[in-house]
């Protein structure tokens, strides 16, 4: 499975540092990555991190590793590899995942490559991790998250813990990136695990 790519989708919910962190973690682990960024995802990267283009994201993630391990797909191309169950991969994470995207996945609408790729993960019974960032949550949000969970997705809200005593924003980001990486089966050493040396 380690030679199969992981699909990473970036949509318009707040949480660009989580997306960049996941991408950097995958590249550090030398995992092939299929990257899809929605139009709102590009706007998010610029707004929250000053990453105004794909080239800027490449530089931030590490250009050499990006060129070696990342393949970028247009969100409008519903005929791309991630849209087909016959194209093998090791799972998908949507980080951050807007509530509009959660709703579309719950309904199986597949209007974009992000939505279609997520639909493929569910039908093929592959790991699908959704990282929403919204507060407060409406009944509609909660129902949609329950619906995708029942369909097989893992809903992992961007809610970092504090028991590791974070002292910087990067510590909070790393907490979530570590949890996402664990569920994708990607090695990481961003935060110490509960009960391991380093915990107090």
- What is the spatial distance between Cα 107 and Cα 28, in angstroms, rounded to a whole number? 35
Q: What is the pLDDT of residue 198?
A: 57
- Asked if the model's pLDDT at residue 77 lies above 60, the reply is yes
Cα 104 to chain centroid, rounded = 16
Question: What domains can be seen in the chain, in order of their start residue?
Answer: 6-184 (3.40.50.1950)
Average pLDDT over residues 51-64: 97
For the stretch 85-97, pLDDT in tens is 999 999 999 999 9
Q: What is the pLDDT of residue 148?
A: 98
Q: What is the CA radius of gyration of the chain?
A: 16
Helix, strand, or coil (residue 10)? strand
Helix, strand, or coil (residue 164)? coil
- Asked if the model's pLDDT at residue 38 lies above 80, the reply is yes
Q: 92 with 117: CB under 8 angstroms?
A: yes
How many helices (H) and strands (E) the chain has is answered by: 8, 6
Q: What is the pLDDT of residue 164?
A: 85
- Asked if the model's pLDDT at residue 173 lies above 70, the reply is yes
- What is the spatial distance between Cα 177 and Cα 35, in angstroms, rounded to a whole number? 16
Here the tokens at position 166 are 């974070």
- What is the spatial distance between Cα 173 and Cα 15, in angstroms, rounded to a whole number? 9
Q: What is the pLDDT of residue 81?
A: 97
Q: What is the pLDDT of residue 27?
A: 97
pLDDT band at 189 (very low <50, low <70, confident <90, very high): confident
pTM of the model: 0.94
Closest to 148 in 3D by CA, of 116, 91, 102 = 102
Helix, strand, or coil (residue 62)? coil
Lowest-confidence segment of 41-55, 110-124, 136-150, 186-200 by average pLDDT:
186-200
- Full strand arrangement of the beta sheet holding 70-74: 70-74, 33-37, 6-10, 92-97, 128-132, 154-155
- Asked if the model's pLDDT at residue 192 lies above 90, the reply is no
């Amino acid at each position: 499975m380690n030679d199969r790519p992981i699909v990473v989708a970036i949509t318009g919910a707040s949480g660009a540092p989580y997306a960049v962190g996941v991408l950097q973690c995958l590249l550090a682990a030398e995992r092939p990555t299929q990257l899809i960024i929605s139009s709102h995802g590009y706007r998010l990267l610029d707004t929250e991190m000053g990453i105004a283009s794909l080239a800027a994201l490449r530089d931030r993630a590490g250009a050499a590793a990006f060129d070696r391990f990342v393949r970028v797909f247009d969100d409008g191309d519903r005929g791309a590899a991630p849209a087909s169950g016959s194209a093998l991969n090791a799972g998908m994470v949507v980080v951050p995942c807007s509530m509009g995207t959660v709703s579309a996945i719950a309904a199986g609408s597949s209007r974009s490559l992000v939505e279609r790729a997520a639909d493929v993960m569910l039908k093929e019974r592959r790991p699908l991790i959704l990282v929403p960032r919204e507060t407060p949550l409406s009944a509609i949000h909660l129902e949609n998250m329950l619906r995708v969970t029942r369909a097989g997705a893992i809903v992992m809200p961007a809610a970092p813990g504090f028991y590791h005593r974070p002292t910087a924003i990067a510590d909070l980001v790393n907490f979530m990136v570590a949890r996402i990486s664990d569920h994708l089966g990607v090695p990481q050493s961003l935060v110490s695990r509960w009960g391991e040396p380093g915990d107090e």
